[in-house]
Structure 1
Amino acid sequence: MVRNVLVALDESQASRAALDYALRGVLPRPAGAANLHLVTVLPTVQTPIAVPPMASAAAMNVLHCQWGAQQQANHARAHELLRKMSEVAVNDYRTPAESVHRHALPALGGASGVGQSLVEAAAKLRADVLVLGTRGMGALQASLMTLMGLGSVSDYCLHNARCPVMVVRQSKDTVLGAEASPPAVHAPPPKRVMVCTDDSPHAKKALQWYLDCLVMPNDHLHLVSVALLPPALPLDEPAVVAAVEEMAADEEARGVVSDTASTVACAQQQALAHGVLRTRVATAVLAPEPGVSDVGQALCSYARDKNVGLAVVGSRGLGMWQRSVMGALGLGSVSDFLSRHLPCALLVVKDGGARRESHEESGMLLQRVPEEDRELMGGADAKDDGKQDGELGGAAVVDHGKQD
């Protein structure tokens, strides 16, 4: 069962869509059975640097005042954002105020400072799942953003977070503000969930994690697998030899389809043993489709045809260099392809992602914020909150467990 849900927030519509999805379909009911951690990452404020005697003391003082004013403005915007989103959780979704926790964190260094802050926060808070929105950039846009030093936060979290990561695309009807109609929260809405299965350990772990932590009584479960058929090679042989080789290829293809169907059937039995009704479980064996990722393309087409609301996929958790080598060999990551092309939310469960590690074992420590920053961020409430430094290793926490 999910105990700690971390939702990454900013001022985008994709972020609001992620919060709505987490409150509707991730947090267990009854409300208050899990902790909801709302996290936002402060933008980096560059420290002005001037070398005397080119800059006078008065000029340096002006620069320092401007830097401090920008810091205060960033802190105030983060405080207001977290306050509004916590009100959405409490007022619209009836989440108990004591189970909603708000955190504002500094952006760490590296290629994705925001992503690194979220990954380390997930580790320190022992998050069971990290939920964040995505703008839905394609592969070319993502590559260009990476070259410009503006890498995708969702990509970084998918590749580096140890806990399962849910990426939610913003919907066209996402509304920011109080004019959104309050949802009915008495029962979670039914949803179609596509679980991608094969005979790999990470795919089995993804299905098990979904059944243990996220399955709802009224979910419609689609267990799908792509049969990787042997390539059809051109035959430049005599007619008799060509016919024999073609029969052998057909026999091999039937064996692959049969093995894939057996894998899906085993996954179905696993779901039924967990209590999912047989009438709510559908199975499908898909043929690969032409494209950059034959497996990923087939899964995206199925998700569109069946109007899937959530896709669950396992990941081997390859590092950057391993992913680069696999991509050069034409064996790109299926989870990467799905994160950019799926029309629905995506949950990625890494092999070993369900392990609970302490921050001493993982070596992840959040950057300590200077004392003056904590006072600017939390004000008088932060000073009075004794849990501020204990929970996130000294990172700034805004009104932990309080509502304005």
Structure 2
Amino acid sequence: MNNNSKPVYIKGQPVGDGCPAVFLAEINSAFDTDMEQGQRMIRSASEAGADFLKAEILCSTDIVLNDGSRFEYEYGDNGERTSETWYDIVARKVNPLSFYESLFEYSRSLNLEFIVSVYDLASVEFLADMQAAALKIPSSNLNHEPLIVAAAKTSIPLILDTNKAYTSDIARALLWCEQQGNSNVVLNHHPGSGPAPAEQHNLNYIRHLKQTFGVPVGLSCHYVGDEILYAALGAGANLLEKPISFDPSHKDLDTVFAANIDDLPSILAKVRACSAALGDGKPRAYMPDRELDQWMGVIAQKDITPGDKLTTDNCRFSWPCKGISVEDWSKIEGRTVVHDIFADHPVRWGDVSFD
């Protein structure tokens, strides 16, 4: 496979090389069970101009064992750490599907379509009915054949998180999608659990994924700060996913590397500018705006009379070019002048003998 793939269209918006980068404002379940807080986050993402809302559905504790297994995570501004059982984390974020229906309809009312991470089959069916913009398969589910097959069958575009998956893991997940006739897949480079330091991101892997699988590739940004977003664009990322929060120091997983919602408009402006600056990478056959008046021409350093030869003693090079260009100096150096050329005047082709 190669990276000359066609874009994947998510609700009509192309994701791929040569297209503007797509930004997902990720709220996941940062609002827990608070509908008002969730709507505030969505409203802020919409007002800032995010391309899509990124959320997740946690509608049942059945997806996690209640066996005391714990997860340790960092939060706050000073590297504080805490741990919770996986069951407790999920339990405090579980909402009925009717809750998510109201939440996503609110997002849609603000013209902000939603991309949602799924963990169970019921969520896939629900989102298919809601005609979600895309379904996200979290990295923890990249080996979940029943989930990926069900998601692919919807024909909705898919985003597959990679994390520390082997190439064979990614190839297998893509094969499951292809077997269901769904080739509308974006891979998301995932640097690992956050906060991920810069050296852990390995952004050049984005190019490797494109060359290997021939699909658009995005970044799930788990860095404290926004600079990795712009570096990822330079490395070829077609899509950027970044958590947002009203309070990144809040004691919860994923908030420590979230962007403050107040900073989102500025971040998006930089993303748009960086994306536009990349262009299509193709050389221009003809450029009417080459600004040739900034190139230098050959100028008489002093009065030059007929019979004199042109040398660097009696010529200099200055812009704007009004006569012979500096690129043609080798063609006229040592040639005899046939007309008077006054000091500070350009040397023109008619001033030079080629006999």
Tell me the TM-score range normalised by the shorter chain: under 0.3
Q: Which structure has greater helix proportion?
A: 1
TM-score, structure 2 as length reference: 0.27
Relative contact order (alpha carbons < 8 A, sep ≥ 6): 1 or 2 greater? Answer: 1
Say which one has the larger Rg: 2
